[in-house]
Chains A and B, each alone.
Chain A
């Protein structure tokens, strides 16, 4: 490297750490905290061997293998085995995501916005930026590994020993490294930060899917996925180190490829062709509704698919509910005790309310997009055309209402479609759909409040996310914390009947719908009266 290719690398590393002095500690802290909280929660949830073995039994099914990986240590399902079996893969996916986002932010995003050009005009080597980002991220991953290991050991849980904790931590760290390196390669290939993140996340999902298919079909295919490798560490059970070295080695190899590609390309260029778009608008993009849909299409499709999947995966475990709950006292407190109904039947409304609250998030996002469009100065384009404020806001409200139908329908379909196949009880798919759709009026009340805020206090639309979080806590943990009844009535979701234990109360649904309509009308009035803020 005699020609100063890497000059200034240490200074750039310091600069990256300085720029992310809040971001990095927050990421690290969240990972360590989540791992520790889960491990600690397991000790509370499963207090003896019998309870843990009951859990192990529910893990012996293909859906679980596909989701969290092949079972190991199921015959002696200690807290440690439980933690690494149920949490390692999911945590590794999020660690991978963090690495992808951070890498793109400091490479392609800086390059795209011209910041890298300023750096490169200084006496700094051509490879210095990429190298410094990779070194910082490798350091972050190593730190994550060590912090996770030490914090888990500090919990002083019998089965969570030192070696297992370090294997667990470094399995996460090496997974992070490999996805940082994968993103580094895509940052050279693609010409935009969106492309870099998009391709890298696709690679992450592919790694997950290849592993899922591999684990279901005997394991060979899993060896083609870095996520498959790290699961072979079997932390707290067998503590294999070779997958960690393999993963870290792959990360170094990919990093070298990225550095090579970086050295042979021009600043601002990529290797993949830039796709051009349509020169003309399609027929659908001809009115405010078409625009509202087009802007959010990708996100909404992802939410719809996500809710369908969540519904289906909840559905797949409905059959094991009885055995799962039999031995675990704490879990039984989560659901309302009602004689004459099976545990499965009593658990369905809990799942449904969780999915309904989750499904209300895209409904709110669809309408609160108005606020983002306003602050970015793009509402002005629409309102300076022959479009009234009612028509503009109406388009977003209509989209949100349609989203509520589709999302709730898909959640019910997923839960019922898979659930009816695996349960002993005689429950029809129609019942699941009815139970899901009963939540639509509650979602509309949330929508109404969002529009009210948009109309009268646009600065406070963020309140909706707090309200959603509050609703979730009250509804989901209501049974556990023994909240009084009136607390549940503070959220519209608390008024919905618990199908199939209770019957749908159409009077309540009509009242909620009417309340939503009134909120919407008042919101529209405010929106018509107020100024559109300046960008």
Chain B
């Protein structure tokens, strides 16, 4: 089949390294996973709050989503092959910027 020519399939007989093997072939997987976690929490939380209260606190939900993403990224950093230092730093910086947004947002109101 065509995809067998494009990607080396991970060894699913001894699947300890199956996720790392998959990421080695398609290295955007961990980034998409982190983005998925961030946007599920951010959009899901803010939309749910909007439905319940009529308004959404986007700054607060960005901090919550960033911290959830940071936790996943830190767990990923305990093994080689999941996430690179550059992307871990990007997640940390986004978390800090979310905090800046939250506290400046609170200072305005």
**Do A and B actually bind?**
no
B interface with A by C-beta (< 8 Å): none
